[in-house]
Amino acid sequence: MISSDFSKLDPKNNILIKGAQIHNLKNIDVAIPRNKLIVITGLSGSGKSSLAFDTLFAEGQRRYVESLSSYARQFLGRLDKPKVDYIKGIAPAIAIEQKVNTTNARSTVGTSTEIYDYLKLLFARIGKNYSPVSGKL
Instruction: Tell whether pTM > 0.75.
Output: no
60/102 Cα distance (integer angstroms): 30
Inside any domain, residue 37: yes
Query: Cβ–Cβ contacts within 10 Å for residue 9, how many?
Result: 17
Q: Which residues contact 136 (CB under 8 A, 6 or more apart)?
A: 130
What is the pLDDT, as a whole number, of residue 36? 86
Inside any domain, residue 116: no
State percent of the chain over pLDDT 90: 20
Range of the domain at 60: 6-99
What is the domain count for the chain? Answer: 1
Q: What is the mean pLDDT of residues 58-86?
A: 86
Q: Kindly report the CATH number assigned to the domain that includes residue 73.
A: 3.40.50.300
In terms of pLDDT, which residue wins out, 137 or 17? 17
Give tens-digit pLDDT for 100-129.
655 666 777 666 667 777 788 888 888 888
